[in-house]
Structures are given as C-alpha cells and as structure tokens.
Amino acid sequence: MTNQSRISAQIAFLTEADKLKSVLRATTLCDASRRENSGEHSWHIALYAMTLAEYAIKPVDINRVIKMLLIHDLVEIDAGDTPIHGDYDPAEIAAIEERAADRIFGLLPAEQGKEFRALWDEFEAAESDDAVFAKSVDRVQPVISNLESGGVSWVDYNVTVEEIESRVGVKVKRGAPAIWEFLKAQIDGWFEKRA
Amino acid sequence: MTNQSRISAQIAFLTEADKLKSVLRATTLCDASRRENSGEHSWHIALYAMTLAEYAIKPVDINRVIKMLLIHDLVEIDAGDTPIHGDYDPAEIAAIEERAADRIFGLLPAEQGKEFRALWDEFEAAESDDAVFAKSVDRVQPVISNLESGGVSWVDYNVTVEEIESRVGVKVKRGAPAIWEFLKAQIDGWFEKRA
C-alpha cells in the first residue's frame, strides 16, 4: 500500500465515521432539548472515563478504555442504536453488528483495521478489566442524562427502578461500584418523588 | 473532600460538559444535513488523532493528544465557537476562554481540575509536540467536512484557497505535513472546479 492509498483509506474510514452523528439514541441531552446522537455520546463517555477512572474496581489502562469508547458505537452506523430498555433480539443485533464491524473497520489499512477491531471485540466481550470499566461508564452517562432531563427515556420506556437495577446497576457495579452507590440514592429519590 | 462530595463535583463537571453538544460550529456534517456541534466534533477529532497518529511530524504521546482533544473545546460552553474563517478579536476571545476555563475546570476536585487545566493550557500554547499535533488534527477535520459537504463553510465565509493555506495549511503542516500534502491536492481540485 502506498502512502497515498494508505492515508486515503484512513480518511475514508473517518468520513464514514461521520455518520455516527446522525444515529439517534433513546436518551436526550441533559436539558431535554433533543435526543442525543451516538457521536456526541461517544465523546461524552470518553470524558466520563477520563474523569472517573479512579473508581474502576480493578486497575485499568485508561488510555485503552478511552480508545475503546471512541470506537465502541461505530457499528451503529449500520445497526442503529439498541436502547437499553428496548425490546429486541440480542442474537440478531449481535449478528448485524458483527457484519457492521467487518465493513467499517475493513475500510482501514489491514493491520490498523485488525487493531481497532480487536479493541471493539474486547469491548463487546466485556471480560477484560478495561472492557468491564468501559461498559460501566457507557451505562452511567444515560442515568445522569435521565436524572437531569426529567427521566425522558425512563418515562418513554416505562421503566421501573428494578429494571434499572437489573439492566444498568448490575453492569455499573461490576466495573465501578462506588459510582453506582452514588447514583443509586439519586435514582431511588427520583422514583420515590414520581410515585 | 469526602468521597461523596468528590464524585459529586466530578459528575457536576460532566453534566456541565453536556452543554458542549449545543454549541454549533461553522462546518456541517459531511452530508450537509445540519451544522456540527462541538461535542461530536471533539469525538471525531479524537478518532482522527487515534487513526492518523503515525503522521505526527515528531513522536507524540497519542494518549495525551486524545485527552487534550477531548477537553479542548469545553471553554466554548461559555465562549461559543470561533469559526476559523470568522472575523473576531483574538485577545478578547482568549480572555473569555480563560475565564471559561477557570469556571469549568474549577468544577472538578482541585487537583484534577489543575491537571485538566494544564492540558488545556498546553493545547492553547501550541508549543509541545503533543499540542502541535493536536492542533493539526483539529484543523484537518473541517477540511474533510467541507470537501464532502460541498464546501458549506468555505462558501458561507467566502474563503479563498490562499486563506485556507494561511489559516489551515500552516497549522496542519506544522504538525502533520503528510496529511496536508494529501489534502492540498483535493482542496486545489475543489477550488479549480468551482472557478
């Protein structure tokens, strides 16, 4: 691969990535003015990771965590966002996301595509300490958006406090229990006020 | 600072950061469907840095570059975006951004706020190898958006190819000359076709 075709492939990947800014999520901005997109969400959770690294349950390489979070949602360009509280077939989504990963990371020069893909596979597997913490952070940010926005996606999906515990709490606790402890009191308060 | 007030300060900072998603830039998405916001832009250029690190003119610590780019635009929450080709007083903008940095990084626990602020100061100073490369990447992405979108912000600001060279090219070349060489041919082609 010449230098020109190498850089051309990298720019093609980065231009394709632009489409993530048009993938809408279930959650809104904190001020509830509009739904959040997966591009700005990816930025926000990378900043979350950078800010909250000290709460990882096991020591993590925060730089790998940040890189994972920067690429973790790219497959949504083909697969769309899968709302945490939505109704879907996980196996079907996983298959669509696998094909999306093949296509999107396949735009890069081969060895770089393999490196990014390995990082995405690691995030999806949610087994390494870095991936477990990254997954926690990915679950924390929508909770804060909901607490700030008046619970837009909790209301839309008619979510109970028990469902938040089982779909969100379990994952946050696994990677960052101190953050969950902090959030849990606020979530309980929100649901009590609403009852 | 107790653990609870520490985490509370960090979450307050991250919630404030959400506002960056409502700061609009001069450039549009690649498909020209709408103007880009500074939150999604920050994600995109962190991904640019991660993908294009090999073109840095001097060896950089890419992890520091990425962190710099994640926080570099937060001051725009107070100061707004300053378009590259816009008409403004640099000293006035700098003063507003300094006050914004005091306020926004000041939301964090003191030692963490100092660490983030130092990284922002380093980016702004544009002297270290990491900051020079970060600044290059920040200038590359709007060029690609313009080439893809039909030159929306170039047309809006009535920009000449010489102005792109002096306002964008100089900064990209300083940190990543190989990327500029690749872009330059495409920019020239765009302006020739338009003439």
**Nearest CB neighbour to A21, from listed B3, B40, B178:** B40
Domain residues for the domain of B54 are 3-194
CA nearest to A185 within chain B:
B4
Mutate: best of B44, B114, B130, partner A, most A CBs <10 A: B44
Specify the residue for token string 């330059």. Answer: B184
Q: What are phi and psi of B31, to 5 degrees?
A: -90, 5
pLDDT of residue A8: 97
Given this model, what pLDDT does residue B87 score?
86
CATH number of the domain bearing residue B108 = 1.10.3210.10
Provide the pLDDT for residue B7. Answer: 97
| Closest by CA position to A135, among listed A92, A183, A169 | A169
Q: What is the pLDDT of residue A60?
A: 98
Mean pLDDT of chain B: 96
Condensed to tens digits (0 to 9), the pLDDT of residues B132-163 reads 999 999 999 999 999 999 999 999 999 999 99
Largest CA distance in chain B: 64
Decide if A162 contacts A44 (C-beta within 8 A). no
**Whether the Cβ atoms of residue A36 and residue A145 lie closer than 8 Å to each other:** yes
Distance CA B121, CA B156 (A): 31
Whole-number Å distance between alpha carbons of B184 and B138: 16
Amino acid in position B170: V
pLDDT of residue A3: 85
B1 pLDDT more than 80: no
Query: Under an 8 A CB cutoff, do B43 and A4 touch?
Result: no
Instruction: Give A42-95 pLDDT, tens digit per residue.
Output: 999 999 999 999 999 999 999 999 999 999 999 999 999 988 888 889 899 999
Say how many domains are in chain A. 1
State residue A80's pLDDT score: 94
pTM of the model: 0.97
pLDDT at B103: 98
* Per-residue pLDDT tens digits for A150-162: 999 999 999 999 9
Distance from CA of B73 to the nearest CA of A (A): 12
Residue A133 contacts residue A175 (beta carbons within 8 Å): yes
A109-144 pLDDT tens trace: 999 999 999 999 999 999 999 999 999 999 999 999
Amino acid occupying residue A82: T
Interface A–B counts its CB contacts (< 8 A) at: 126
**How confident is the model at residue B85, as a pLDDT?**
84
B contacts of A40 (beta carbons < 8 Å) = 21, 37, 39-40, 43
> Quick check: B88 pLDDT over 90?
no
Residue A30 has its nearest CB partner, among B15, B55, B144, at B15
Do the Cβ atoms of A33 and B22 come within 8 Å? yes
Can you give the length of chain B in residues? 195
pLDDT, one tens digit per residue, over B8-41 is 999 999 999 999 999 999 999 999 999 999 999 9
Other C-beta atoms lying within 10 Å of the C-beta of residue B98? 15
